[in-house]
Amino acid sequence: MGTVVTGAATVRVRNQRDCYAGLELYAPDRAAASIDLSDNTNRWGMPPAAELAMRELAADSCARYPEIYAASLKEALAAYAGVSPSMIVTGCGSDDVLDSAIRAFVEPGDRIAIPEPSFAMIPLFARMNGATPVMVPLAEDYAVDAERMLRGDTGVIYVCSPNNPTGTVAGRAGVEALADGARGVVIVDEAYAEFAGADLVDLARTRPNVLVVRTMSKAFGLAGLRVGYAVGAPGLVQEVEKSRGPYKVSAVASAAAISALRDDLPWVREHIALAVANRERLSLELAHRRIPALPSSANFVLAPLANADGIALDMRRLGVAVRPFTNLRGISPGLRATGGSALRISVGPWPEIEATLVALDRARASCA
């Protein structure tokens, strides 16, 4: 409740939803660093064809509204995903698609089952939409614990594969069990699928309750343009589209994304292969330092390490940003040994990783 003074009278106004009371703005420590391997974006940059399309966009395209539901972009995405355009919904980043999907499929008070640890935004989107997040620990082998996620009366189930921040995969069998057993929609967040060499889009084609959410922010190098999408049965994506609303993808973003999909897939694939090779090389480098990185299928590696906060702070002073976690609960002997403390290091060009390893060694020496 807020208070408004109007002349002599004081009027109480309702200016906050109850479920927003404990919510804070998203504000991780983002001081500039010359090498930034903290957010899993494409460190090789954006696809050249996308950059060209953006520069050549007619000024008139920006004076007009973009397509209401991004029909041309849907066509390009559908060709890429191997589905029909009626099975695609787009959004202002996949964050927007995830938020819209939760809003579309939960009633206030519903429970949403979410693995722990996983993408930190999901419990927030749940609460923003009046739903209650129910956290379910990942199994020992990092697979999704389908039996526990299905327990209890959940309106929506969220799974992330490869999972952020662990980099591990949920397991096809577990996701299929969720789809078969769920009372409501199963959201499968595949932000990093391109780095895994396998995906679950076929489940969106064969199950009426599976929504596979993807993004152009990671493998496609377009995080700044904010393009996300989901694949699902036409009736399902239509509900998300209603919830999302019109004009969510800008004309600039749409033109760049379409060019990347139509003209630059070889560029994208080449850099995915580089990221995968450097990921394996980084894991070996960490192993040499007796840091047992989790088995990653994404473009980042999670390294269990005591005092992650202190080490990340020291590394930042040395000009390198990585993402520390201090309280990852529920899994794996490696993480239990550090009390849930770990660094998430994105994979980029090797010179950036080399500089990151130098900073890591110096920070560990001075924190020891």
Ligand X SMILES: *Cc1c(COP(=O)(O)O)cnc(C)c1O
Residues contributing to the site for ligand X (CB under 6 A):
40, 93-95, 119, 160, 164, 189, 191, 215, 217, 223, 228
Instruction: Tell me the closest approach of the beta carbon of residue 178 to ligand X, in angstroms.
Output: 17
Instruction: Tell me the closest approach of the beta carbon of residue 58 to ligand X, in angstroms.
Output: 26
Looking at beta carbons, which residue is closest to ligand X? 93
Q: Which amino acid is at 7?
A: G
The residue (of 253 and 315) whose beta carbon lies closer to ligand X is: 253
DSSP 7-51: TTEEEEE--S-GGGTT-----------SEE-SS---TT-S-HHHH
The residue (of 217 and 278) whose beta carbon lies closer to ligand X is: 217
Rounded CA separation 156/152 (Å) = 11
- Name the burial class of residue 236, with classes exposed (0-12), middle (13-18) and buried (19+) by CB atoms within 10 angstroms of its CB: buried
Report whether 196 contacts 175 (CB < 8 A): no
DSSP 226-247: -EEEEE--HHHHHHHHHHH-S-
Instruction: Tell me the closest approach of the beta carbon of residue 92 to ligand X, in angstroms.
Output: 8
The residue (of 69 and 220) whose beta carbon lies closer to ligand X is: 220
Instruction: Tell me the closest approach of the beta carbon of residue 246 to ligand X, in angstroms.
Output: 19
Query: Phi/psi zone of residue 194: left (φ > 0), alpha (ψ -120 to 50 degrees), beta?
Result: alpha
The residue (of 41 and 278) whose beta carbon lies closer to ligand X is: 41
The residue (of 250 and 307) whose beta carbon lies closer to ligand X is: 250
The residue (of 302 and 363) whose beta carbon lies closer to ligand X is: 302
The residue (of 88 and 359) whose beta carbon lies closer to ligand X is: 88
Q: How far apart are the first and last CA of the chain?
A: 49
Instruction: Tell me the closest approach of the beta carbon of residue 14 to ligand X, in angstroms.
Output: 30
Instruction: Tell me the closest approach of the beta carbon of residue 91 to ligand X, in angstroms.
Output: 8
Report whether 122 contacts 188 (CB < 8 A): no
Please name which of 294, 324, 301, 313 lies closest in space to residue 359, comparing C-alpha atoms.
Answer: 313
Instruction: Tell me the closest approach of the beta carbon of residue 138 to ligand X, in angstroms.
Output: 14
Residue 270's DSSP bridge partners are none
CB atoms within 10 A of CB 286: 21
Please name which of 296, 167, 218 lies closest in space to residue 40, comparing C-alpha atoms.
Answer: 218
- What SS3 class is residue 323? strand
Buried b (16+ CB within 10 A) or exposed e, 241-262: bebbeeebbbbebbbbbbbbbe
Instruction: Tell me the closest approach of the beta carbon of residue 159 to ligand X, in angstroms.
Output: 10
- C-alpha distances (whole Å) from 317 to each of 32, 244, 304 are 10, 40, 21
User: Per the structure block, which two tokens stand in for 57?
Assistant: 């966009």
Instruction: Tell me the closest approach of the beta carbon of residue 226 to ligand X, in angstroms.
Output: 6
- What SS3 class is residue 255? helix
The residue (of 197 and 351) whose beta carbon lies closer to ligand X is: 197
The residue (of 42 and 307) whose beta carbon lies closer to ligand X is: 42
